[in-house]
């Protein structure tokens, strides 16, 4: 019997992405897998059932889809009902968000489900094609630039008109990771004058390569795996003070600063917002983990002292077609090495990409930080 790979329709409110697309489905079929989709799984991403190869099968019932599936591909973490519908020993791959849903991890453990969290894939060169954090952050950064232009009371580009010359807007992007660099590139393409800042001095060259000015402060925070380390309270206070003067000179501020597994650092204080010019826009891409601005309300757009603070959630879902295409290819690149030429499953636990991204296996929580959180450090 061929391995049955199932892809359900996402049921998390607001989630429009899907974990497969037609070209990727064809690749799975050529690998010898049986591919089963829930009917309408890709509708919200404008990927319709008729786009898929004719060998792909479709299921009517959401939970029934899980019953005989050997491998399940997801975007959002499976709910407890979805986990209960899986057969013991099945494999589920997606963005598991274990820190947010410990009760779901416990259920995966109890059902002896093998789960892989795509957000835990190590950020090494070999795994770049599997890096969902980067692929989805590029979507978020692009959208952040568009949001800033849409919410601003100013044109982004310089315009020469019969009524006179309109000066370009000034944009400051905080955080020069994948999202920040994409936000910089988008704001530049829209014609704004752009500045970028990151606590990692190594990003200066990348920021300047996009035509933006790099803002240098006295605080440095080089971390592991391409991330910034968490600042000490004293460093954070100094950073806030130094950044405030720069932020108050810009028309749009886009923040993308995040530390894995921790609440987002509060970079923009209430006092700084109250110093900004009326009509200034803050786009807070860190809203998922609490926001970089003290006044951000995740999922909402608020106005304080005539400053607009936009804190969107699940931004990649706002560009669902391309976000789904990239995510589906990330999954394909992750799963492919586990499938032999004969179409059989072989998991190489000596592969650090596989080992580091495994959340649960054979009744154990394999990811140590999650195990410590749930079991208090017990093995």
Q: Hey, which residues are catalytic here? A: 123, 128, 131, 134, 227
Distance from the Cα of residue 183 to its chain's centroid: 14
Please identify which residue in the block is written with the tokens 């995040």.
258
178-189 and 132-151 are packed helices; what angle lies between their axes, rounded to 10 degrees?
A: 40
What's the Cα-to-Cα distance from 269 to each of 290, 304, 315, rounded to whole Å? Answer: 13, 12, 23
Contact 177, 202 (CB under 8 A): no
In 104-141, which positions are buried (b, 16+ CB within 10 angstroms) versus exposed (e)? bbbbbbebbbbbbbbbbbeeeeebeebbbbbbbbbbbb
Write the DSSP symbol of residue 34.
Answer: E
Contact 29, 19 (CB under 8 A): no
Please identify which residue in the block is written with the tokens 């980067």.
134
Separation CA 152–CA 169 (nearest Å): 9
Query: Is residue 242 exposed (0-12), middle (13-18) or buried (19+ Cβ within 10 Å)?
Result: middle
Phi-psi region of 287 (alpha: psi -120 to 50; beta: other; left: phi over 0): alpha
Contact 18, 326 (CB under 8 A): no
């Amino acid at each position: 019997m061929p391995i049955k790979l199932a892809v359900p329709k996402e049921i998390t409110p607001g989630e429009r992405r899907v974990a497969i697309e037609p070209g990727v489905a064809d690749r799975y079929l050529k690998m010898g897998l049986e591919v089963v989709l829930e009917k309408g799984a890709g509708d919200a991403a404008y990927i319709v059932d008729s786009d898929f190869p004719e060998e792909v099968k479709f299921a009517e019932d959401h939970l029934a889809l899980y019953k005989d599936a050997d491998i399940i591909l997801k975007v959002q973490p499976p709910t407890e009902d979805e986990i209960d519908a899986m057969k013991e020993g099945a494999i589920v791959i997606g963005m598991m968000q274990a820190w947010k849903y410990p009760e779901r991890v416990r259920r995966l453990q109890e059902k002896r489900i093998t789960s892989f969290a795509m957000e835990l894939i190590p950020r090494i060169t070999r795994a770049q094609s599997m890096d969902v954090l980067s692929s989805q952050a590029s979507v978020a950064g692009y959208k952040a630039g568009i949001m800033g232009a849409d919410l601003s009371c100013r044109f982004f580009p310089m315009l020469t008109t019969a009524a006179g010359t309109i000066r370009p807007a000034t944009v400051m992007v905080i955080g020069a990771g994948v999202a920040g660099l994409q936000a910089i590139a988008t704001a530049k393409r829209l014609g704004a004058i752009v500045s970028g800042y990151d606590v990692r001095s190594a990003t200066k060259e990348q920021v300047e390569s996009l035509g933006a000015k790099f803002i240098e402060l006295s605080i440095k925070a080089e971390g592991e795996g391409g991330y910034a380390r968490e600042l000490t309270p004293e460093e954070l206070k100094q950073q806030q003070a130094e950044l405030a003067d720069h932020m108050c000179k810009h028309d749009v501020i886009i923040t993308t600063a995040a530390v894995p597994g921790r609440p987002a650092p509060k970079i923009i204080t209430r006092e700084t917002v109250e110093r900004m010019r009326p009509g200034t826009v803050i786009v807070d891409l860190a809203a998922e983990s609490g926001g970089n601005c003290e006044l951000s309300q995740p999922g909402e757009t608020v106005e304080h002292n005539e400053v607009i603070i936009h804190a969107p959630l699940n931004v990649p879902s706002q560009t669902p077609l391309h976000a789904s295409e990239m995510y589906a290819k990330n999954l394909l690149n992750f799963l492919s090495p586990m499938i032999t030429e004969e179409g059989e499953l072989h998991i190489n636990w000596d592969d650090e990409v596989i080992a580091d991204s495994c959340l649960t296996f054979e009744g154990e929580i394999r990811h140590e930080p999650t195990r410590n959180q749930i079991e208090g450090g017990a093995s």
